Amino acid sequence: MLTNNKHIFFIAFLLTLSFIMRLCFNLIFVGIESLPGRSSIDAPDENKYHNMAISIINGQGFRGKAYNPPGYPLFLSLIYNIFGLNTFAVRIVQSLLSSIMVIFIFYIAQIAYDKNTAILAGLISMIYPFFVYWTGALLTETLFIFLYVISIFFIYRFLLTKSQLWNIVGSFSLGLTTLVRPVVLSLPLFILIFYLLNNKSLKSCLLNIFIFCLIYFSVLAPWTIRNYLIFDRFIPVTTSSGINLLAGMNKQVLNDINMSGKLTRGALDEYNEYLVNLDENQRDIEATKLAIGYYKKLFKENPLFIIKVMWKKWKAFWNIFPSNRGQLAKVMSLLSYGLLLPFFILGCILSIFRKNTLLIIFVILNSVIICLVYYANIRYRFPMEPFFIIVASFGILFIKEKLINKIPNV
């Protein structure tokens, strides 16, 4: 256990060393002069977000498009407004956000489990290779998981204190998270279930749920209303959901189940043959229709095949080795995520009947469901990895305790 002084020292240690590691990575491996899409990170999408941010700065806005969510381009434009078109400034800010996130992982683990689990989860998060790696990319990952983690922390604080302020801050933060990446659009449903299970008074619970939903959807509302005015239909965040749904179920997958989880937009036959010539609004509509049509057909003709597809997606989601990265990334994944995976499985089993861990399980479950319905990809798994580390830490300490208990006293 940590005393107050040791607690403060440990938090300072986590924050300082986390930031130094991330800063050194960006200085040495990414470089101060690295341009978007041309760094060692090898992320072509950097150019897209960089150009969107410049468009915002120049007063051109998003140019009527909603294929990408607005959160990250706005984040970039804010930094560019302060520091100029300095991509290294973005990487420094992302390094700081990632380092602060480590502290919040520590506190979530302490609330959900205990202080020893929190210490281990904090130490693992501090050195976790992919947390460090993504700070060097002008992509949504770092900002998204930072907002995601603090949102869950605020909700846990609300559970502990019953202060409505935390409920408001948590729902507001989760709204911002959704505007960065809409894969958490379904998470509020799990949070509402979590509230119901953790509140003895139905009246109080309904009030909490109402306030949460009011704030959450108020954050999304300006962007959703803007989309409706431009596209004349309800689009909560992006026009990319149809393509992502089609990437998970299409005619290539029907012909070869091994293609599940491997197809991106440009690799889809349906996209190249038909959708490529449509505007983003109509493409989203038609892609959704195609994907739902495939699912309906399978439900009627061969429901067993759907189970096989889901199994393939499940394996792609939990895959240890990234399929679109180099050998170094595969080694990194094996020695970090791969080593933690058995302990995570054990931690999940041990956490089933622990009331405080239910929210973490819901976060993980939400990520898995998105993968099974949409496009199975390791990148969709990354946002839940802070919570993966927390559960794995609990599993590691359980094994450690059992081994110590087996050692006879001399």
Tokens 């094994």 map to which residue?
399
Decide: pTM greater than 0.85.
yes
- 300 found inside a domain: no
**pLDDT tens figures, 103-155:** 999 999 999 999 999 999 999 999 999 999 999 999 999 999 999 999 999 99
Q: What share of the chain is helix, strand, coil (3-state, %, to 5)?
A: 80, 0, 20
Contact 54, 80 (CB under 8 A): yes
Residue 298 domain-assigned?
Answer: no
CA distance 300 to 349: 35
Residue 295 within any structural domain of the chain: no
pLDDT tens-digit readout, 36-81: 877 777 777 899 999 999 999 998 888 668 999 999 999 999 999 9
Residue 146 domain flag: yes
Burial category of 256 from C-beta neighbours within 10 Å (exposed 0-12, middle 13-18, buried 19 and up): exposed
Domain contains 385: yes
Residue 277 belongs to a domain:
no
Q: How many domains does the chain have?
A: 1
Model confidence pLDDT, tens digit, residues 146-169: 999 999 999 999 999 999 999 999
Specify the pLDDT at position 3: 59
User: Considering the domain boundaries, does residue 285 fall inside one?
Assistant: no
Contacts of 101 (CB under 8 A, 6+ apart): 125, 131, 145, 146, 149, 150, 386
Digit-coded pLDDT (tens) for 340-374: 999 999 999 999 878 889 999 999 999 999 988 88
Residue at 152 is within a domain: yes
Task: Outline where 162-249 has alpha helix (H).
Answer: 164-180, 187-197, 202-231, 241-248
Domain limits for position 9: 4-238+319-406
